[in-house]
Chain A
Amino acid sequence: KQEVTQIPAALSVPEGENLVLNCSFTDSAIYNLQWFRQDPGKGLTSLLLIQSSQREQTSGRLNASLDKSSGRSTLYIAASQPGDSATYLCAVDGAEKLTFGTGTRLTIIP
C-alpha cells in the first residue's frame, strides 16, 4: 500500500527566503506526482505535474523535482511571498487514483 509523507508538517519563513518542501513515497511504481496548494476553506489548486519519466518541472518561482528510485520529490519555492502561505500537498498516481501526502502548512512572515 502506497504511503506518502511530507516533512515538515508546518514551516514559517520570512518573506523573500527560498524554501524547500519535501515529499516521500514508499512505492516507486508511480505514473506521476502532482503538487497542489490548498488555501483555507478552499479546494486544491494544481501547481505542477511531473511524469515518472521526468526529473523536474518548473513554473514561475516553483520548481519540483522527482527521484522515483529513492521515492522522493521536492518543491522549491524561490523568493517567497505572503501570498504563498497555504498548505502544500503532494500526491502520487500509481493506480489511476491519487494517494495524498499529509501536507505542509506554510506561513510566509511579511
Chain B
Amino acid sequence: GEEVAQTPKHLVRGEGQKAKLYCAPIKGHSYVFWYQQVLKNEFKFLISFQNENVFDETGMPKERFSAKCLPNSPCSLEIQATKLEDSAVYFCASSPIPLNTGELFFGEGSRLTVL
C-alpha cells in the first residue's frame, strides 16, 4: 500500500486484558518502528524492525510488551495484562532505507484505552 495502515483505530480493554495492534507498512519499506504517545505530545520509542528482525528494542517494557514483523503478515504489537498507564495512542511508522538517511512515514495510530 501507499500508506502505513494501522488497525484497529480504537481499542478498549479492561485492566488485565490483552491488547493486540496491527500495522501494515508501506509496500517495499524494510524498516518498521513503533512509538507510544501517552500525553499530548510525548512520543516514546518502543521498538524497530529491519524486515522480520528486531533492530532496536530498547524502549520496550519487556515484561508485558511484545512485537513481531513476520513475512507476508502485518506487524503486530501485543500487550499482555494491560495496565491503566498503557492507555495511549500507538503509532507505527515505516521507512524504505535506514533512518539515518531517510524520512519516516507514520500511520494514523491506534488509540488504546484501558479501563
Could you tell me which A residues sit within 8 Å of B by CB distance? 31-32, 34, 36, 38, 42-46, 49, 51, 87, 89, 91, 93, 95-103
A103 near B100 (CB under 8 angstroms)?
no
Which residue of chain B has its CB nearest to the CB of A44?
B106
Can you list the 5 inter-chain pairs with the closest CB atoms, starting with the nearest? Answer: A103-B41, A31-B100, A100-B43, A44-B106, A43-B108
User: In this assembly, does B107 line the interface, its C-beta being within 8 Å of a C-beta of chain A?
Assistant: yes
B91 near A43 (CB under 8 angstroms)?
yes
B109 near A46 (CB under 8 angstroms)?
no
Bound together, the chains give a CA A7 to CA B48 distance in angstroms of 29
Could you tell me which B residues sit within 8 Å of A by CB distance? 4, 33, 35, 40-43, 45, 48, 55-56, 59, 91, 93, 98-109
B41 near A89 (CB under 8 angstroms)?
yes
Which residue of chain A has its CB nearest to the CB of B111?
A41
Main secondary structure on B side of the interface with A: loop
A34 near B104 (CB under 8 angstroms)?
yes
Bound together, the chains give a CA A99 to CA B45 distance in angstroms of 8
Q: In the complex, which residues of chain B have a beta carbon less than 8 angstroms from the beta carbon of A45? A: 106
Bound together, the chains give a CA A45 to CA B56 distance in angstroms of 23
